[in-house]
Structure 1
Amino acid sequence: MIVITADQVGSRVSADLVSGVLDWANGPEGPGLLLPADRTAGDELQLLPADARAALRIVLHLTRSGRWSVGCGIGSADPLGATVRETAGAAFVFARDAVERAKKRPRRFALENGTEHGRAVDALVDLLLVVRARRSREGWELHDLLETGLSQAEAAERLGITPQAASKRARAADLRADTAASAALVTLIADLDAPHEGGGRR
């Protein structure tokens, strides 16, 4: 099972962001969850992504703003309860350890599963977050349009720029590398989760 625990940064001096994330995660445009995401403390939430793709989508969504410390735990778990709070297991312990470690890291993300393979995947996710943190506002504008399914030419037209300018933005934003790295990370995270799929302790 994959568990994500996220803790809002600076919640004592800023507006509550948990409700907005819960609306997104549990809504029709959300990533896909095994159970509805839930607030587990005043400024903390927990999510059980349905698969590796959903997990990476959540991580990239939350870390983009810099307003969340995000911990991803992968491991065994008890059978699903009626709610996130009623489910337990090693994956939840790993997620707790990961979010505490994330609070001390520049990109505010950490992944734990107790293996060398997990530490390697953690490092690769961190590298992708470094690339994304350097992206300009213009690069994000193009990225977000492409994410809706537009072609680069269509996105250029929407932005009022030439296709050549869009290509230049895409290169500067490392969008091709982002796409390739994200696809590879989905495979690697799925491999970490494979021994634990189906719930229950192994």
Structure 2
Amino acid sequence: MFALTIDQHRSRTGEDLVPALLDGLAPVPTVLPFERTVGDEVQGLLDDADAVLAALLVVLRDGNWSVGLGIGPVETPLPDSVRAARGQALLDARAAVDRAKGAGEVRVAVVSASQPEVAADVEAVAGLIGTLLRRRTDRQWAVVDAVDAAPTQRAAAETLGVSPQNVSQALAASAIAVERAVYPVLVRLLERAEAP
């Protein structure tokens, strides 16, 4: 099982971003849905590696969060709320988010008591993806989002009012192809980390 504990960075000096984060995470399939657990902290329980990737992409793109991922067993039967859930994955997520708070530009950490080496690999790949997400400019994001929403790059260029060459250049500079090529690697590592 995968537990994500997400804590707002510098929450005492800024606005409460939890409602917007919960909206962003709402489409992600969960076993126990993401919810505010205490203060500016959000937690959710997942059983699918692709869903973990989807959640990480939301949180890491935003950049206002420290993210802890715990991988391991959870006591069953599951309660109705993640706040009442217990198990090693949740303990590992707590340890991970505490460590993530001390990280640099990309505040993400992964802990698995049973598979520490694979957890370290997951953390390295998640950190790489997070670095690419955080270094993308607003203009590059606008192009990436427009291309994702359009049937073709040419259509995206028309929507943006730029040339197709501008779109191609922005995509290349954004390193979106490199980032997305790493997604299957992260998913495979997550699946390996969860395997008994």
Q: What TM-score do you get using the length of structure 2 for normalisation?
A: 0.91
The answer as to 2:189 corresponding to 1:192 is no
Q: Is the 8 A contact 2:157 2:164 kept in 1?
A: yes
Corresponding residue for 2:23?
23
How far has the Cα of 1:71 moved from its partner? Answer: 0.5
Q: Secondary structure at the match of 1:33?
A: coil
1:28-107 map, 5 Å: 30-79=27-76, 80-106=78-104, 107=106
Identity level (%): 38
Distance across 2 between alignment mates of 1:70 and 1:43? 12
- Give yes or no for contact 1:31–1:49 (8 Å, CA) kept in 2: no
Aligned partners of 2:121 and 2:189 also within 8 Å = no
Using a 3 Å threshold, how does the CA distance of structure 1 residues 149 and 74 change in structure 2: closer, same or farther? farther
Give, in angstroms, the shift of residue 19 of structure 1. Answer: 1.9
**Post-superposition offset of 1:83:** 1.1
Tell me the secondary structure at the aligned position of residue 31 of structure 2: strand
Structure-1 separation of matches of 2:188 and 2:169: 29
Q: Is the 8 A contact 1:71 1:100 kept in 2?
A: yes
Q: Following TM superposition, by how much is the alpha carbon of 1:23 offset from its aligned partner in structure 2, in angstroms?
A: 3.0
Q: Which amino acid aligns with 2:145?
A: D
1:200 paired residue number: none
Q: Is the 8 A contact 1:78 1:87 kept in 2?
A: yes
Alpha carbons of structure 1 residues 24 and 65: separation in structure 2 relative to 1, 3 Å: closer
Q: Deviations over 1:111-139 (max 9, x none)?
A: 11131111112112112222222211111
Deviation at 1:149, TM superposition (A): 5.9
Range 2-11 or range 182-191, more displaced: 182-191
Which residue of the partner structure matches residue 198 of structure 1?
none
Quick one: distance in 2 between partners of 1:58 and 1:47?
A: 10
1:50 deviation in Å?
A: 4.2
- Tell me what 2:173 maps to: 172
Deviations 1:37-84 (A, max 9, x none): 121111111011341111112112112222111111111111221111
Which structure 2 segments of 5+ residues have no match? none
CA RMSD of aligned residues (A): 1.6
Letter in 1 for 2:14: S
Partner amino acid, structure 2, of 1:108: R
In the superposition, relative to structure 1, how do residues 5 and 150 fare at CA in structure 2: closer, same or farther (>3 Å)? farther
1:108-123 equivalences under 5 Å are 108-114=107-113, 115-123=116-124
Q: CA deviation at 1:25?
A: 2.5
Contact 2:63/2:134 (8 A) holds in 1: no
2: CA distance between counterparts of 1:145 and 1:84?
35
Paired AA for residue 85 in structure 1: R
SS of the residue 2:177 aligns to: helix
